[in-house]
Amino acid sequence: MKLFTAAATVLVAAACSSSGTVGVGGGGKINLDRVSAADAIKDASAAQIAKHSVKEHLTYTSQRLTQSVDSLQRTDRATLESTVVDQVTGATQSTHGEVRLDGSVAYVDNPEIPAAMRQNKQWIKLDLDHLPPRDSSDKNLALFAALGASYRGADPVQGSLFALAYPDLHRVGVETRDGRRLLHLAASVTPDTLPATPPPGSGITQAYLDLRRTQWKDQGLTKMSVDFWMGEDGLAVEVKQAESGTSGDSTGDMTQSDWGVPVTIVAPPADQTYTVPAQ
């Protein structure tokens, strides 16, 4: 069973207090020619949180499948509504699903989960703070635990800062796209180069750093790289990720637009939802 990667991958916009030379959260502009890579990330966070929400489109590609995700999410807390389309390599038909994330509760409509596992309901509900044990003797519960773990810890505030933990975060340069000047940043990291503690002043918490390290280990990741484009208003335009690991290589390309659109998460009907037993 493939696990929807939407929540883990999509949540990248966030906020912290800017340490850059301009306060973009207050309506200023970033000097794209002079701002450092670290300050640009922090300034982008401040600008994005001021907008409260964003629409995102993600295309995720691996050796086994291509996944298209359209999301509307908050930029200040884990609140997300996504539609997901999976196209397995070699398959003639795609599958359509949906993810609704509201804090510590995830609702997942994944047609690839056998009906018997979800008690013949359309949706499953996961309490991310009280998942069943990963080593449960019940194989169904163990699979739901793994699924829930992929959403646990989704934190847009921390997610947008995480590039500050990459030891080679750097400016690529200022590029012009569709007549607009954009700052291009890039970074890469491996399990060996990921720092043991958060870099001073980064705003990254030890708990989030440890969580990401554990998730990478569980996923067998050996390297991750990211490219990030932002305008002088501090708002992200595109984020690209590339991953390598024991399951092969994968890429993600995400674009952002329509900042400030309201986000409301509605729970699926109770009679169509199977609640996974909590630990």
Contacts of 144 (CB under 8 A, 6+ apart): 117, 124, 126, 131, 132, 276
Binning pLDDT at 50, 70 and 90, where does residue 275 land? very high
What pLDDT is stored for residue 154 in this prediction?
A: 78
Residue labelled with tokens 């992200």: 236
What pLDDT is stored for residue 244 in this prediction?
A: 92
Average pLDDT, integer, range 177-202: 93
Percent of the chain clearing pLDDT 90 (strictly above): 46
Binning pLDDT at 50, 70 and 90, where does residue 27 land? low
pLDDT above 70: residue 265: yes
What pLDDT is stored for residue 133 in this prediction?
A: 87
pLDDT above 50: residue 9: no
**Exposed/middle/buried for 262, CB within 10 Å: 0-12, 13-18, 19+?**
exposed
Q: Which of 252, 220, 204, 256 is nearest to 71 (CA)?
A: 256
Binning pLDDT at 50, 70 and 90, where does residue 168 land? very high
Average pLDDT, integer, range 33-44: 92
More confident residue, 154 or 256: 256
What pLDDT is stored for residue 7 in this prediction?
A: 35
More confident residue, 2 or 111: 111
CA distance 58 to 84: 9
Average pLDDT, integer, range 204-212: 91
pLDDT above 70: residue 2: no
Binning pLDDT at 50, 70 and 90, where does residue 1 land? very low
Average pLDDT, integer, range 102-127: 92
pTM above 0.85, yes or no: no
Query: In residues, how long is the chain?
Result: 279
What pLDDT is stored for residue 149 in this prediction?
A: 82
Percent of the chain clearing pLDDT 70 (strictly above): 90
Average pLDDT, integer, range 128-144: 88
pLDDT above 70: residue 24: no
